[in-house]
Amino acid sequence: MVLKLNLRFIFAMGLYYGLYTITRGFSYVIASMSLPLTMLFLIGIISRGYLLKYAVIGGFISLISTNALSSAGDASFLRLELKFQDLLVTTRITRIDYMLGLMLSYLFFSLPGIVIYAVIGVVLNLFTAFRAFVLFLIMLSLLISETSLAFMIAGMMKHIRNVWGIVSILSIILSVIPPIFYPYTYLPKYVLYILSISPATPGSVIAQGVFGMQPFNYVMLIILIAETAFYFVLGMNFIKWRES
């Protein structure tokens, strides 16, 4: 069976729910960048610049992770309040189209923050073509896995009032506690593997290795690839999609 994606719908949803959100409510964009930029400032001051590179690279990962996780709120709202998901079921649009459309929207929504961190990274001379490409692949993988986690959360929600608190807590657990803004070697190995339940952990470890800040960990590369596929399948199955 050949998978046929509705690219027109995917792009339209990404454009409307992601790119247009920037123009309609830029305050949300600023709010999404507040945590990584605050961490960048604090880490730069406290470490006297020693961990600044970690904060910059971690900023990319944190931005994508927190924005993708927040899609649990939107997915719940669209399903429970607007009944938008029920409307799509009656069309030729599939659950994969819907997932990819929402993923693309959060990639578009994250673009202002990505640009800011890219400028900082260029100023600090962090990038080569290879490093930039690998970082892009890491962020793409995190976008898929973290959005899939968000769909799992949304699929379990029975009322919209519960989702925002859960997303806020999970954003801290999955995007702040992992070694995103500090060297992963600070952690004992068993703690590192426990934290690997969050895709941000292997993503950060790989990024630190590629950028020459810490030894490259091939096990984390395998974990990230496996988690991306695993969470995507789980997220797709947690969507309340009643197909005829």
In tens, the pLDDT along 147-177 reads 998 888 887 777 777 777 777 777 777 777 8
Q: Which residue has the tokens 């260029």?
A: 122
Looking at residue 1, what is its pLDDT? 41
43-to-39, 182, 186 alpha-carbon distances in Å: 6, 9, 15
Helices within 70-128 (DSSP H only)? 71-80, 84-89, 95-109, 111-123
Contact by Cβ (8 Å): 240, 152: no
**Whether the predicted pLDDT of 218 surpasses 90:** yes
Distance CA 96, CA 98 (A): 5
Burial of 181-212, coded b for 16+ CB within 10 Å and e otherwise, reads: bbebeebeeeebeebbebbbbbbbbbbbbbbe
Instruction: Please tell me the pTM assigned to this model.
Output: 0.88
- Which among 43, 29, 208 is positioned nearest to 113, based on CA atoms? 29
Q: How much is the pLDDT for 25? A: 67
pLDDT digits (tens, 9 = 90+) for 29-58: 777 777 777 877 888 788 787 888 998 999
